[in-house]
Amino acid sequence: MKDIQIGGLVSFTTIDYPGKLAAVLFLVGCPLRCAYCSNPHLLSIHDGEYDPDKVFEWLKSRVGKLEAVVFSGGEALMHGEALINYMHRVKELGFAIGLHTNGFYPETLKKASDVVDWIGLDYKATRTKYPELVGQNIAHDHMIKSLNIWLETGKDFEVRITCDPRFITKLDLMEIANDLHSRGVKKFAVQKYVPHFEDSTHNTTPEQRSQFFNDDNLRNTINELFESVTWRESN
Ligand code: SF4
């Protein structure tokens, strides 16, 4: 049976699954090529540095110590049925299952929705700017399909955006917030762009990167649209 490929692991985190102590597994492979990607070593499919069976044995030793396991990437849903099977095995150990996803695989997300308890969904830019940022023409449409699928489940989730000033303006952020509000999203997270050392094309200033966080008017307007808004400024 085909197995998942794991390229990274965080053994303990308090910030990747809301309210739960978690481990994060980073699966290799991603259909997108975001300009700001901080995990370029995970983008192409390869064998992965971690044996999934050994990771599973390690997870058994974490029962009672951790509460959740988050699948991230790359794009974990690229692993299809192999991922869903692995998630079921992990869930049987008693862990809540989290998923960080760019929303590119709505049908797989639908299949995984029985086993996944919470997702963090990336909304990367306005529809017009999506292709330039992610290198893919249909990614925005797929992400919206994923959003609609998850809304139908009624399960908890967060939509997050990384504010890279090369691709996002304050007006864009407002447009995106209004779009999410109109779709019934309750939890929104606005993340600061921090240039990755391999992102050699970035030429933004600290002021440009902070502009979304220093504007009280913008923050208050967005805060009023959602049940909760998390402003993630430090990394
Ligand atoms: S979706 Fe995530 S992993 Fe994939 S290229 Fe974009 S930032 Fe990198």
pLDDT above 90: percentage of residues in the chain:
86
For residue 201, name the pLDDT band (cuts at 50, 70, 90).
Answer: low
CA–CA distance, 36 with 130 (Å, rounded to integer): 13
What does the pLDDT average to over 95-112? 98
CA of 162 to the centre of ligand 1 (A): 11
- CATH for the stretch 6-232: 3.20.20.70
The model carries a pTM of: 0.95
SS3 180: helix
Q: Which of 121-135, 136-150, 192-206 has the lowest mean pLDDT?
A: 192-206
CA–CA distance, 68 with 95 (Å, rounded to integer): 5
Domains of the chain, by residue range, sit at 6-232
CA of 61 to the centre of ligand 1 (A): 30
- Radius of gyration, alpha carbons of the chain: 17
CA of 93 to the centre of ligand 1 (A): 29
Residue nearest to atom 8 of ligand 1 (CA): 37
Residue 176 above 50 pLDDT? yes
Q: Which of 39-43, 78-82, 156-160, 190-194 has the lowest mean pLDDT?
A: 39-43
CA of 142 to the centre of ligand 1 (A): 15
Pocket lining for ligand 1, CB < 6 angstroms: 30, 32-34, 37, 39, 43, 73-75, 102
3-state DSSP helix/strand/coil percent for the chain, to nearest 5? 35, 20, 40
Q: What is the pLDDT of residues 145-172, one digit of tens each?
A: 999 999 999 999 999 999 999 999 999 9
CA–CA distance, 47 with 4 (Å, rounded to integer): 9
Residue nearest to atom 3 of ligand 1 (CA): 74
Which among 26, 38, 39 is the best mutation to test ligand 1's pocket, defined by most ligand atoms within 8 Å of the CB?
Answer: 39
Residue nearest to atom 6 of ligand 1 (CA): 34
CA of 124 to the centre of ligand 1 (A): 10
Structure tokens at 190: 């606005």
SS3 120: strand
Please report the sign of the dihedral spanned by the C-alpha atoms of residue 49, residue 26, residue 4, residue 54: positive
Task: Order across the sheet with 157-163: list the strands.
Answer: 6-13, 22-27, 68-72, 96-101, 118-122, 157-163, 187-192, 228-232
CA–CA distance, 12 with 33 (Å, rounded to integer): 27
Residue 235 above 70 pLDDT? no
Sequence-distant (6+) residues with CB within 8 A of 41 are 7
Residue 229 contacts residue 163 (beta carbons within 8 Å) = no
Which among 28, 34, 38, 164 is the best mutation to test ligand 1's pocket, defined by most ligand atoms within 8 Å of the CB?
Answer: 34
102: nearest Cα among 195, 183, 29, 32: 32
Residue 102 above 80 pLDDT? yes
Q: What is the pLDDT of residues 31-76, one digit of tens each?
A: 999 999 988 889 988 888 999 999 999 999 999 999 999 999 999 9
CA of 37 to the centre of ligand 1 (A): 5
In this predicted structure, what is the pLDDT of residue 45?
A: 82
In this predicted structure, what is the pLDDT of residue 195?
A: 84
CA of 33 to the centre of ligand 1 (A): 6
In this predicted structure, what is the pLDDT of residue 198?
A: 60
What does the pLDDT average to over 204-228? 96
CA–CA distance, 98 with 22 (Å, rounded to integer): 9
CA–CA distance, 31 with 136 (Å, rounded to integer): 8
In this predicted structure, what is the pLDDT of residue 1?
A: 47
